[in-house]
């Protein structure tokens, strides 16, 4: 994509990603993504899409090089709003749509008819193969250490295993927070990287100030993998569990036989995402809250410095 300054997607994040973050990312030269479930009110999804398109068009008319915005469709059967969300996306016909949490097979035809590429996020090689059978154009590989819902696979092995099967667009998610890791992902065979946690700690994200600061104050070892909330693996911050009066030792990976989920056992307790906050392993590399434009400038400098250092080592 010639409009990109860096091969980066500002990842779609529940609650956190609003029009402000998407627009800032696209204007900074990276793909700006958001979950279509974030706008909640009547007519709000269309209003978000219209605002994003209008402000990016105005920036382009003013001579800026603007990257595409990327809606994210949750295709799990529990998403009762999927038909309306799909209809809205088809009407706006974005360049790229990302599907999450399930098979994309039922939405690929309509999105392709609208002229959109479809990228599916996957956490296993099996799911990658299923998504390719459904006709997707790209894959987002959820490697170990990604924030939010995450996979378990080592990113090195995962990327190489999928690249043997697929020569289309690959996006690596998990543990990427600086320019050197972006370059490393390219060396593995990826086309782009997801950065989510880095953009939670941005001025334009809708995360609470305490959430942003907790990311700055956290290290890799402060990130906890658990399936207690939804039955799916998710990366959460231990400090957030503690802040809500919860014992991190009760929030491991229990598997299907682990008993009732947290919400069933604690119907009035703190809620995942709203009260208990997620972050990825890349929290270790985040030391401040900054505007998106400044973050992307920094990533670009780090990326080119890493390339220069690698060339020097290879001489």
* CATH number of domain containing 61: 3.20.20.70
Q: Is residue 110, in this structure, part of any structural domain at all?
A: yes
Question: What's the pLDDT at 254?
Answer: 72
Q: Is residue 256, in this structure, part of any structural domain at all?
A: no
Q: Give the global pTM.
A: 0.93
Question: What's the pLDDT at 251?
Answer: 82
Question: What's the pLDDT at 258?
Answer: 63
Give the up-direction half-sphere exposure of residue 251: CA atoms within 13 A in the CB hemisphere: 26
- The β-bridge partners of 224 are 236
Q: Is residue 220, in this structure, part of any structural domain at all?
A: no
Question: What's the pLDDT at 255?
Answer: 66
- The β-bridge partners of 9 are 31, 194
Question: What's the pLDDT at 229?
Answer: 83
Greatest distance between any 2 Cα atoms in the chain: 61
Parts of the chain with a pLDDT under 50: none
DSSP 1-16: -TT-SSSEEE---TTT
Q: Is residue 314, in this structure, part of any structural domain at all?
A: no
Return the DSSP state at 244.
T
As for how many domains the chain has, the answer is: 1
Q: Is residue 315, in this structure, part of any structural domain at all?
A: no
Q: Is residue 81, in this structure, part of any structural domain at all?
A: yes
Q: Is residue 60, in this structure, part of any structural domain at all?
A: yes
- Could you tell me the residue range of the domain that residue 88 belongs to? 8-207
Question: What's the pLDDT at 2?
Answer: 62
Question: What's the pLDDT at 197?
Answer: 95
For residue range 33-91, what is the model confidence (pLDDT) as tens digits? 999 999 987 889 999 999 999 999 999 999 999 999 999 999 998 899 999 999 999 99
Q: Is residue 56, in this structure, part of any structural domain at all?
A: yes
What is the b/e burial string over 80-110, where b = at least 16 CB atoms within 10 angstroms of the residue's CB? eebeebbebbbebebebbbbbbbbbbebbee
């Amino acid at each position: 994509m010639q409009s990109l300054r860096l091969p980066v997607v500002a990842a779609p994040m529940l609650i956190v990603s609003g029009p402000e973050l998407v627009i800032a990312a696209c204007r900074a030269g990276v793909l700006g993504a958001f979950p279509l479930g974030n706008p909640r009110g009547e007519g709000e999804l269309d209003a978000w899409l219209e605002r994003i398109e209008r402000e990016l068009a105005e920036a382009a008319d003013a001579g800026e090089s603007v990257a595409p915005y990327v809606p994210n469709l949750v295709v799990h059967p529990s998403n009762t709003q999927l038909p309306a969300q799909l209809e809205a996306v088809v009407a706006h016909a974005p360049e790229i749509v990302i599907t999450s949490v399930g098979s994309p097979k039922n939405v690929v035809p309509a999105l392709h008819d609208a002229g959109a590429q479809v990228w599916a996020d996957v956490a296993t090689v099996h799911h990658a193969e299923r998504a390719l059978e459904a006709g997707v154009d790209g894959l987002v590989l959820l490697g170990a250490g990604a924030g939010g819902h995450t996979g378990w696979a080592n990113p090195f092995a995962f990327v190489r295993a999928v690249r043997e099967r697929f020569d289309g667009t690959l996006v690596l998610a998990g543990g990427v927070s600086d320019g050197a890791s972006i370059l490393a992902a390219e060396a593995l065979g990826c086309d782009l990287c997801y950065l989510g946690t880095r953009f939670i700690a941005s001025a334009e994200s809708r995360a609470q100030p305490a959430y942003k600061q907790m990311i700055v104050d956290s290290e890799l070892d402060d990130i906890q993998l658990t399936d207690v909330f939804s039955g799916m693996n998710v990366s959460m911050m231990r400090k957030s569990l503690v802040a809500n009066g919860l014992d991190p030792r009760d929030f491991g990976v229990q598997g299907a036989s682990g008993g009732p989920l947290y919400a069933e056992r604690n119907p009035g307790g703190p809620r995942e995402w709203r009260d208990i906050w997620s972050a990825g392993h890349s929290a270790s590399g985040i030391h401040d809250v900054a505007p998106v434009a400044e973050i992307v400038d920094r990533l670009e400098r780090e990326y080119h410095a890493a390339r220069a250092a690698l060339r020097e080592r290879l001489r």
